[in-house]
Chain A
Amino acid sequence: MAATRSSEFGDLVQIKKQLISITAQCKERGLVHSVKWASELAFSLDPLPLNEIPPAPELTEEDARDLDALCLAKSYFDLKEYDRAAYFLRGCRSQKAYFLYMYSRYLSGEKKKDDETVDSLGPLEKGQVRNEALRELRVELSKKHSAGELDGFALYLYGVVLRKLDLLKEAVEIFVAATHALPLHWGSWLELCNLITNIEMLKSLSLPECWVRDFFMAHMFTELQMIKEALQKYQSLMEAGFAKSTYIISQIAVAYHNIRDIDQALYLFNELREQDPFRIENMDTFSNLLYVRSMKPELSYLAHNLVEIDKYRVETCCVIGNYYSLRSQHEKAALYFQRALKLNPRCLGAWTLMGHEYMEMKNTSAAIQAYRHAIEVNKRDYRAWYGLGQTYEILKMPFYSLYYYRKAHQLRPNDSRMLVALGECYEKLSQQVEAKKCYWRAYSVGDVERMALLKLAKLHEQLNEFDDAAQCYIIYIQDIFSCGEQLEHAEVSTALRYLGQYYFKNKLYDEASLCAQRCCDYNDVSSSSAAHSQLRDANLSPFGKMLILSPKQVM
């Protein structure tokens, strides 16, 4: 594998040439996003000497005939006059013109659809508004497809049409065909990425052997939450010579964000901003990280910066929302998240974040609505389920919230936070057995907040299971000290005090005294006074006890 990759990536010059040519091709066809991706990648590679720059492709007879119409149409196309562009292209024969013809018809339909959504006849009809051009496009494209006349770009368009018509299975086939026909076109890969839902499906596809495939796989792993694999892939890509690519850096940063490696992610985002200071993409993720770390000045700087660049972007609104939220101005935060939703109603993160804001504002009903919307957009959004659970818990309905936490847990079986929340609910319902199970499981899957063991210990304490409680406290203390960093809510003193008492009761006076001494290091007044007295007891009693015991020992 390594050998093949090095041979694949060995020729960076070749790759650069390919990128340059695909950029030109995409540009001619108005595929702006693919152009952006390819040129970003090309930019990260070393520039080519003059003699290496690939020449423009040869024009065919047909191309020459259509040249003027194409020029005219392209200019209309760029001015977003799609119908006009399509009209002038209708008689053209060349592949390029045909693609542009179909593509402008498609875009015209999309544009009309968007316009119509605003003044549809009624609210229920809103779901009904659709791109009327899709059907015709599909019929024509399928005819051409069965005749085998579609090139890579047209296949891509056919796939998009199918996807929009919800014919997902067919769409996957077509996109795979498109990647085979034109592996360098990133758009096809990206569309494919959105259609693949699990790893089995990914494995079952036969994809072309090309260096773009590695980018695709890495992207796919990130989407499927297989972060370790994704990072590995990206790492090898960087080693192969794409180290300067902002695309890869941002992807890695997002991946780190997903596994909550905040420091790494922050570092990468900062680097990204240095290299590409006017970038807006992914900045909402960056702001989330800053928010989690409560880095107010950085977040405010970011927000100012983004507003200057473009204030009408979803990402900008999210960043500002986060900024206000961090400053506890929740009304304003909610307002900005609403604005983000107006800009893009399918923006999932904003719904959830808005729910969080309403929670902060104690507007539970609005929070529930927001979370429900988030779930509607994406059923697998575990944060929204968790948020709903929290809302109901705040409303003092622990039984009710169980259902939501369970849902969240189902989606993230290895996330300790859901398990701890479940455990707390069970505890409130006096279902100690279930609560214990939850806490223990939370500890086993790697407790993020390091609260599970403490709670478990306290539960054991309540149930008079002293040995188990002591055991839990011991592991807890070990855990806290081994992780090194100081946690705010750490209750080491409680644990130590309990252990001290426990040892004292079991007549292990040395251990008891040790625990009590350690306990005194913490300046928690109530506990320290108790510890002091205990320490005194521990120091004194051995002798006293021994005196009493001695006759027996003699015997």
Chain B
Amino acid sequence: MMTNGVVHANIFGIKDWVTPYKIAVLALLHEMSTTKPMALLDRRRLNKLILPLQQGPDLTLEQFLKIVEECCLRMVNAVKHRYASSLNKELFFKKNFILKTPEPLITFSLFLGLFMRQMLLAYNKLSFSQVYKLYKSLQQYCHRVQPELSALPTEDMELTSNEDPSAESDESQGPLSQKQAEYFLARQAYLLKNDENKAMSPAKLQDELNNILKFNPDFAEAHYLSYLNSIRVQDIYISTHSLLHYFDRLILSGGEGKSNGDEGYGRSLRYAVLNLATLHCRFGHYQQADLALQEAIRIAQEANDHVCLQHCLSWLYTLEQMKGSDSVVLTEDSVKIAAHFCLPYLASLGIQSLVQQGAKQGMPANKLLDALRGTDIMHWKQSLSELIEISLAQTTSIWRMYGKSTMARQQAQLLLNMNSLEPVNFSVQQNNTEAFAVALCHLAELHAEQGLYAVVSDIMKHLKQQFPPHTQHAKLWMLCDLKIQFEKAMNDGKYHLAEPHVTAISALNSTEGLYRKAQLLKALNQTTEASQILQQLQQQCEKSKDIEMTIRVMLASAELHWDSSGFATALPLLLQALALSRQHNLQSLTSETLLHLAFTQLMLGIPEQALVLVQDVLESVLAHGSLIDKGRALLLAARCQMALAGAAAQEHRLTALEQAVHTLDEAAVYFSQLDCKERMRDIHYLQARLHHTLGNISQRNKCSMLFRLLDQELPSSGMTVVSHL
């Protein structure tokens, strides 16, 4: 057969052909349809068995019989008998009776009927010598396992015993028919997409693919799977090779499918370049990706292919984003055009990308959430489950950014508990997308904030299992894990433990790493270095417009000012941070800034103002903040109360002091949950002082003893209780 002037390997266009194994399956089918009385359970088991048997690779007779035996003992003998009788030469040549079973049980138009008809057709097409060959192989197939089925002088048995093991293993791995190979590829590709852990290991899969390609080099799809597989192990060499090979092959077959051959051919060319661009994107070769993308755009433009152009555009803004430059305009264009050409997937992907950028740049929250809701309605209408997941994960992130931990938790749970809309194939539900990873990471961080470290480690374990370290989204949880551990070490005051985490974080995210380094240096009292790093960070953040980080850097700088008792100099910085965080609706950062402000005011000697500020934010901190924030806010409130009490009249003084003791007790609860010993020491100290003033001697003694215990345990920090929040 010639297409476009080139000889095709698949001459008859037969996708499947009769093999001894297929005949065995047919024998089983025949038996099943003829044996009327059968236990319901047995029948059900057999029915379940048939599909994998029919679609799987050829088994040896021994394996086949064993599988049948496991399901239904009675059936084995019948099948064996029927199968052996098919060996009878005369019957075989007349017309293999197994092949015609027009039983009412099996409808011709349905799946099994189709299979039987295909087999019959394939059988009828065989020439005499082919039938003879089939007969011979049938004989061999039987004798290899069960010499008792027929008494043939087994000359070749001797030979097989003499063979080397390599040839033997080669034998067991028979060739797959095109049907079987297609089924295999579809299954593995689905698994790769949805749950990589359940797919074959990369090495084994590659072996299988090589095997398929050995027997049918024209089977282009195998090259594509090989491309996917080698991306899994980050092998750029083989993945490029396979990708190009696939498209070289596809170019011809692509022309076949379309009515307009030329169109299909040009189309696959465009997508070939686009795929190459994505490949380079994936490996972080931005320049190469850019070149490939430009090429794709140029050819698509020449061919007037708007859909392809649209795909290119969406990749273009993704690439720009990856490179860290501003791509809002591009994205907006992309959304508009996608909507014009009725490409809902691309359009809402663009909107999601816009929302992400908008959130970073401080767009009003209601607009962002409105946009997401609008797209969500469309997703549900069109069952774009992938986008629904992304949207949920994005909402989680946005709520988290705004500092509404409850909402974030709720959205994350919603995503994790949602049933996927996609059909569940091969008993695998899709749950390895980036959205899941993001949601799980958020959950882990949220739990860590509440001090529930056991839960966090459970989540991390699940993440590690679901997204093994070599996979694409593994970096997400790695960073998250490191951050949590760093925070924990810092809270515990174990700075030596925090140090290696800083290095690891910088490897994954340099900005975050710098920030953490500054924090660590600040905690170690190396203020000069810390301030240098903070300045550097400030510049970086201004360039990349990372608002969250900017505010955090400002707060850290303000803290540095406190250390040098420059409380007045910290004020403008804090006010700036406050303005920024309010503008961007970052509630948790706003309350944090306010606490900082209150502390500064306290230090500047205006405790009334400070207390008012603290009481203002206390509500939201207690509602959404992390344990440490709650503790810190209460501690600050208590200190304000103490400061006020000093100035108050005698009778008010005692009640005010008692109130302060009470507040400190509350704070102590949070800190003890976190096991934050340094803070506990401070609290005990303050409480002892208060009890002393109040004259509760026993209480005072108890508190001072606790303080003493902790103080001995902890290395004496240079800081006094007054100089930090």
Question: Which A residues contact B (CB, under 8 angstroms)?
Answer: 116, 119-128, 135-136, 139, 165, 334, 338, 341, 358, 363, 365-366, 368-370, 372, 376, 388, 395-400, 403-404, 429, 431
Which of the segments B249-257, B366-374, B619-627 contacts the partner chain? B249-257
Q: Give the number of A-B contacts (CB < 8 Å).
A: 109
27 A–B contact pairs at CB < 8 A?
A120-B130, A121-B133, A121-B134, A124-B177, A125-B17, A125-B175, A126-B215, A127-B215, A135-B159, A135-B163, A139-B159, A338-B7, A341-B7, A365-B251, A369-B4, A369-B249, A369-B251, A370-B6, A395-B269, A397-B269, A399-B291, A399-B292, A400-B244, A400-B295, A403-B240, A429-B291, A431-B291
Dominant SS at the A interface? helix
Distance in Å from the Cβ of A203 to the closest Cβ of chain B? 28
CB neighbours of A139 from chain B (8 A): 159, 162-163
A123-B12 contact given A135-B163, A376-B217, CB 8 Å threshold: yes
Specify the chain A residue showing the minimal Cβ separation from B130: A119
Are B291's CB and A126's CB within 8 A? Answer: no
Task: Return the CB mask of B1-13 against A: 1 if under 8 Å, else 0.
Answer: 0001111011110
* CB-contact partner of B215 in A128, A388, A403, under 8 A: A128
Are A123's CB and B252's CB within 8 A? Answer: no
CB neighbours of B6 from chain A (8 A): 366, 369-370
Which of A123, A128, A165, A395 has the most chain B CB atoms inside 10 A of its CB? A123
Specify the chain B residue showing the minimal Cβ separation from A365: B251
Distance in Å from the Cβ of A520 to the closest Cβ of chain B? 42
**Tally of contact residues, B, Cβ under 8 A:** 53
Are B273's CB and A400's CB within 8 A? Answer: yes
**CA of A395 to CA of B16, assembled, Å:** 37
Are B251's CB and A135's CB within 8 A? Answer: no
Are B248's CB and A366's CB within 8 A? Answer: no
Q: Does B19 contact A (CB under 8 A)?
A: yes
Are B255's CB and A365's CB within 8 A? Answer: yes
Are A122's CB and B17's CB within 8 A? Answer: yes
* CB-contact partner of B178 in A124, A135, A136, under 8 A: A124
Are B18's CB and A121's CB within 8 A? Answer: yes
**CA of A134 to CA of B440, assembled, Å:** 59
Distance in Å from the Cβ of B567 to the closest Cβ of chain A? 55
CB neighbours of B175 from chain A (8 A): 124-125, 127-128
CB neighbours of A135 from chain B (8 A): 159, 163, 167
CB neighbours of A358 from chain B (8 A): 5
Q: Does B14 contact A (CB under 8 A)?
A: yes
**CA of A396 to CA of B302, assembled, Å:** 10
Are A119's CB and B127's CB within 8 A? Answer: yes
Are B126's CB and A372's CB within 8 A? Answer: no
Are B299's CB and A123's CB within 8 A? Answer: no
**CA of A13 to CA of B130, assembled, Å:** 56
Are B9's CB and A366's CB within 8 A? Answer: no
CB neighbours of A403 from chain B (8 A): 240, 244
CB neighbours of A368 from chain B (8 A): 248, 251-252
Q: Does B276 contact A (CB under 8 A)?
A: yes
Task: Return the CB mask of B300-320 against A: 1 if under 8 Å, else 0.
Answer: 001000000000000000000
* CB-contact partner of A388 in B9, B240, B248, B255, under 8 A: B248
Are B5's CB and A123's CB within 8 A? Answer: no
Distance in Å from the Cβ of B319 to the closest Cβ of chain A? 14
CB neighbours of A124 from chain B (8 A): 175-178, 181, 215-216
Known: A365-B265, A376-B217, A429-B291. 6 other contacts (CB 8 A): A124-B176, A124-B215, A125-B175, A135-B167, A366-B5, A372-B245
CB neighbours of A116 from chain B (8 A): 133
Residues of chain B in range 213-234 having any CB-CB distance to chain A below 8 Å:
214-217
Distance in Å from the Cβ of B461 to the closest Cβ of chain A? 42
Distance in Å from the Cβ of A139 to the closest Cβ of chain B? 5
CB neighbours of B295 from chain A (8 A): 397-400, 429
A365-B167 contact given A124-B176, A124-B177, A370-B6, CB 8 Å threshold: no
Question: Which B residues contact A (CB, under 8 angstroms)?
Answer: 4-7, 9-12, 14, 16-19, 126-127, 129-130, 133-134, 159, 162-163, 167, 175-178, 181, 214-217, 240, 244-245, 248-249, 251-252, 255, 265, 269, 272-273, 276, 288, 291-292, 294-295, 298-299, 302
Which of B11, B127, B181, B240 has the most chain A CB atoms inside 10 A of its CB? B11
Specify the chain A residue showing the minimal Cβ separation from B8: A123
Are B167's CB and A165's CB within 8 A? Answer: yes
Specify the chain A residue showing the minimal Cβ separation from B215: A127
**CA of A120 to CA of B129, assembled, Å:** 9
A119-B4 contact given A399-B273, A400-B295, CB 8 Å threshold: no
* CB-contact partner of A123 in B14, B19, B291, B292, under 8 A: B14
Are B12's CB and A334's CB within 8 A? Answer: no
* CB-contact partner of B129 in A119, A122, A388, under 8 A: A119
**CA of A116 to CA of B17, assembled, Å:** 16
* CB-contact partner of A363 in B4, B19, B181, B302, under 8 A: B4
A123-B7 contact given A376-B217, A388-B248, A397-B273, CB 8 Å threshold: no
Are A123's CB and B217's CB within 8 A? Answer: no
Distance in Å from the Cβ of A405 to the closest Cβ of chain B? 12
**CA of A403 to CA of B252, assembled, Å:** 20
Specify the chain B residue showing the minimal Cβ separation from A139: B162
CB neighbours of B14 from chain A (8 A): 122-123
CB neighbours of A338 from chain B (8 A): 7
Specify the chain B residue showing the minimal Cβ separation from A331: B5
Which of B269, B272, B294 has the most chain A CB atoms inside 10 A of its CB? B269
**CA of A136 to CA of B12, assembled, Å:** 33
Distance in Å from the Cβ of A122 to the closest Cβ of chain B? 4
CB neighbours of B176 from chain A (8 A): 124
Which of B127, B129, B162 has the most chain A CB atoms inside 10 A of its CB? B162
**CA of A289 to CA of B142, assembled, Å:** 58
**CA of A397 to CA of B247, assembled, Å:** 13
CB neighbours of A122 from chain B (8 A): 14, 16-17, 177-178
Are A127's CB and B216's CB within 8 A? Answer: yes
Specify the chain A residue showing the minimal Cβ separation from B174: A128
Distance in Å from the Cβ of A498 to the closest Cβ of chain B? 30
**CA of A341 to CA of B8, assembled, Å:** 13
* CB-contact partner of A396 in B133, B216, B298, under 8 A: B298
Specify the chain B residue showing the minimal Cβ separation from A429: B291
Are B299's CB and A396's CB within 8 A? Answer: yes
CB neighbours of B130 from chain A (8 A): 119-121
CB neighbours of B134 from chain A (8 A): 121
Distance in Å from the Cβ of A321 to the closest Cβ of chain B? 14
Which of A338, A372, A396, A429 has the most chain B CB atoms inside 10 A of its CB? A372
Distance in Å from the Cβ of A338 to the closest Cβ of chain B? 7
**CA of A334 to CA of B176, assembled, Å:** 33
Q: Which 5 A-B pairs have the closest CB atoms?
A: A122-B17, A127-B215, A123-B10, A369-B6, A399-B295
Distance in Å from the Cβ of A376 to the closest Cβ of chain B? 6
CB neighbours of A388 from chain B (8 A): 248
Distance in Å from the Cβ of A438 to the closest Cβ of chain B? 16
**CA of A365 to CA of B263, assembled, Å:** 12
Specify the chain A residue showing the minimal Cβ separation from B254: A365
Are B11's CB and A123's CB within 8 A? Answer: yes
Are A366's CB and B4's CB within 8 A? Answer: yes
Are B9's CB and A126's CB within 8 A? Answer: yes
**CA of A399 to CA of B255, assembled, Å:** 23
Distance in Å from the Cβ of B239 to the closest Cβ of chain A? 12
CB neighbours of B216 from chain A (8 A): 123-124, 127
CB neighbours of A370 from chain B (8 A): 6
Are B276's CB and A400's CB within 8 A? Answer: yes
**CA of A125 to CA of B130, assembled, Å:** 12
Are B248's CB and A372's CB within 8 A? Answer: yes
**CA of A429 to CA of B19, assembled, Å:** 53
Specify the chain B residue showing the minimal Cβ separation from A357: B5
Distance in Å from the Cβ of B216 to the closest Cβ of chain A? 5
Are A136's CB and B159's CB within 8 A? Answer: yes
Distance in Å from the Cβ of A168 to the closest Cβ of chain B? 12
Are A400's CB and B214's CB within 8 A? Answer: no
A334-B5 contact given A365-B265, A399-B295, A400-B295, CB 8 Å threshold: yes
CB neighbours of A429 from chain B (8 A): 291, 295
